[in-house]
A and B are shown apart, each in its own frame.
Chain A
């Protein structure tokens, strides 16, 4: 039950991501894609800084006691943005999104299956293959 609630929360967060993309596209056209992306990261960083100040307990120190590779999450976001900016004018938005989503789903299933990046192992099963096929079919229909 808890699991279903978490999935629902993530689903809603994903809906927000579409709204973000809908705002970011036109903004990027006007002020440049890097500036538009900067606005997201900068406003986000400032909001979360505020949240940290008022959080009931903070453990910022713990961040820097982790292995260095665990801190690279922030580097990967801009990499994605650059790929998007390079590819969209060349192959169009539709093709770009299909390519990105395929890479994303395939990699996430592989990460779980092999337990990469220190994650708990969750083997591929029939249900997961079914879910993959349904997402691909939905992409094709849209």
Chain B
């Protein structure tokens, strides 16, 4: 009983991400890319602070005691948010989402292959090479979909 429930929860979690891209893209188009990303991070920080303050069990280590390089993740998060806010109004939510996911999966294959970030090495095998090719193919198809649409719109302006 629990398992289907969790899977629904996960689908909702993913849907929430797509909705976030879409909403932020729309806001960015109206109020500016940096402004919109800034608001997202500020609200996120306020909410997570409250959640952490009241619900996080005490831990041995704190953010102030871990090695500093472990705190650099935010740099990538900011670049991602700026890219999404800029891209969504221009290419649509689905194209941006497919590009992000392909990038994520390609990079995780590379991280595994080289064992970056002190992860275990999992070399690329045949099925992982095919997976990489499929991801690049998916981006190509989304691009073609845009080209087709563009051509249609040029041919029959409605």
Contacts of B56 in A (CB 8 A): 32-35
Within 8 A of B (CB), among A8-59: 8-24, 26-27, 30-45, 47-49, 51-52, 55, 57-59
With A10-B83, A38-B45: A74-B100 Cβ-Cβ less than 8 Å: no
Across the A-B interface, the 6 shortest Cβ-Cβ residue pairs: A103-B14, A14-B103, A74-B43, A99-B10, A83-B13, A43-B74
Task: Tell me whether B123 is interfacial, beta carbon within 8 Å.
Answer: no
Q: Which residue of A lies closest to B140 (CB)?
A: A131
9 more CB-based (< 8 A) A-B contacts, given A16-B103, A78-B48? A7-B91, A11-B99, A15-B104, A34-B56, A48-B34, A74-B39, A77-B20, A87-B9, A107-B19
Q: Which residues of A contact B (CB under 8 A)?
A: 3-4, 6-24, 26-27, 30-45, 47-49, 51-52, 55, 57-60, 62-63, 66, 69-84, 86-87, 90-91, 95-96, 99-109, 111-112, 116-120, 122, 125, 127-128, 130-132, 134-135, 137-139, 141-142
Number of cross-chain contacts by CB at 8 Å: 407
Contacts of A86 in B (CB 8 A): 6, 9
Contacts of A43 in B (CB 8 A): 71, 74-75
